[in-house]
Structures are given as structure tokens and as C-alpha cells.
Amino acid sequence: MDSVISPPRALKPTLTGKRRQKVDIFTDRGSRHLSRIDVRALPHLPGRNPSAVLSVGPFLFLPCAIGRKGIGVKQREGDSITPLGQYKITAWFHRIGQLKQCSTGCRIISPKTGWCDDPNSFAYNRKVSLPFRFGAESLWREDALYDIIGVINFNMRPRIRGRGSAIFLHVAGTGFPPTAGCVALPKAVLQKLKLRLAARPQVFIDNGFARRSPKIAEPTRILVAPN
């Protein structure tokens, strides 16, 4: 069994002055909606699962789970790499009762809601209705990991078949186990974060402790699925 890294504690802001004030971006009504999320990998220790920190604004740093092979250039379906780059959260899905408030555009997850991960399908990396004649992952899960999902627009426009699919911001498991390539947070944190995020917030995923970011390899043959 793989060992699990104990999640780092959230860093507390240091404020100078005669009086320290508690900073909570989740409940500060005077602050604007947050339009940027940063995910940075922590140094990888031998024998430990990769880990990362998600930062929101200048004060809040939260432990998060990433792919079991860390952050890097994602080249194929199922490589367990969290994709390096700049993206946006383009849609939200949730099971009934998991979000107290949800703006227009949030979609309800039902037992028939799925996501196609089969490169042979023209619906590759798209939401589909189950049952589906090609391979698809069900978003209705008993382990609650998909109770809240923010869809990260990796490999969306254009879609390169086999490059990777279903990269989500979703609920983390107990002990922050590694994901298949997604970014995961505790459910309570994700519920509050959704309320503070602006529409289509940017997501910057970076291998923060690497000296140089690897260049994206150009595939020799590209099959682009229609949008």
C-alpha cells in the first residue's frame, strides 16, 4: 500500500501593526469574487505520494491532492499526471444538496450523468448520458468524490484524442490520496470556495519547485474531435 503524505497545515497570514485582524476570504463580504487559483507542487519526497498547495488570494494556502505522478506535461489518457499550464473552470456539476447556492450554469449530477474518456468516440472529453456505447466514467459515485465538480478546460478546444480527459477540481478523499490527474480539496473547503469564485476563474497549475518547465511535446499524428 502506498504511503500517504500528511497534508500540510494552511499557512496563517502575518499582519504587522498594533492589532492583528483575522483574514477569511470565504466570509469577507467586502472582497471581490476571486478570479484566480494557483496550484503548486511541493517537493517530492522518495517513497511518498506527490502533494501540492492550492493558493487563493494573498493569504490563504490549502493542501490539495494531485495526480499520482505529480504535475507535468500530460501526453496521454490514463498517465495519472496533473496537467501543467493555465486553464479555466468552465462548468460546475453537483449532486443535489451539496451546494447551498449555485449560480446559473451549475448542472445536477444524476445516475445517468457520465463523462466520455474513450478516444474512439467523437464525444471524447465531453459530458454524456449513460448508458453510452463508448467508454465513459460515471459522475454518480458512492465515494462522494464527485459530489462537487469544477470542470477544468484541459484538452477542450481543440480536443486531441487520447491526450487526456476529465480533469476536474473535485472532492478529496480521506488523507489526501493521489488522484488520476485531477486536483482535489476537502468537500467543506470546496463548498465555500465555489461561493467566492467568479465566473470562469483561471486555474494556474505549476510544478513550482522545478527549475524549468518542460516543453509540450508535439504529437506526430493528431486526431482532432469536432467541437
Q: What is the pLDDT of residue 4?
A: 45
Q: What is the pLDDT of residues 191-201, one digit of tens each?
A: 888 888 888 99
* Nearest partner of 7 among 44, 55, 37, 51, judged by Cα: 51
**Matching residue, cell 505522478:** 69
**Backbone φ and ψ of 107, nearest 5°:** -115, 145
Q: What is the pLDDT of residues 205-226, one digit of tens each?
A: 998 754 444 444 444 344 455 5
pLDDT tens for the chain, 227 residues long, are 444 444 555 444 444 444 444 445 555 544 457 899 999 999 988 888 999 999 987 878 999 999 999 999 999 999 999 999 999 999 999 998 777 656 556 899 999 999 999 999 999 999 999 999 999 999 999 999 999 999 999 999 999 999 999 999 999 999 999 999 999 999 999 988 888 888 899 999 998 754 444 444 444 344 455 55
Q: In this structure, are residues 75 and 83 in contact, taking their beta carbons and an 8 Å threshold? A: no
Q: How many CB atoms lie within 10 A of CB 225?
A: 17
Q: How many CB atoms lie within 10 A of CB 144?
A: 13
Q: In this structure, are residues 61 and 124 in contact, taking their beta carbons and an 8 Å threshold? A: no
Enumerate residues 6+ apart whose C-beta is below 8 A from 28: none
**Backbone φ and ψ of 194, nearest 5°:** -60, -35
Tell me the three cell numbers of residue 97: 444538496
β-strands 60-64, 224-225: how paired? Answer: unpaired
Q: What is the pLDDT of residue 163?
A: 96
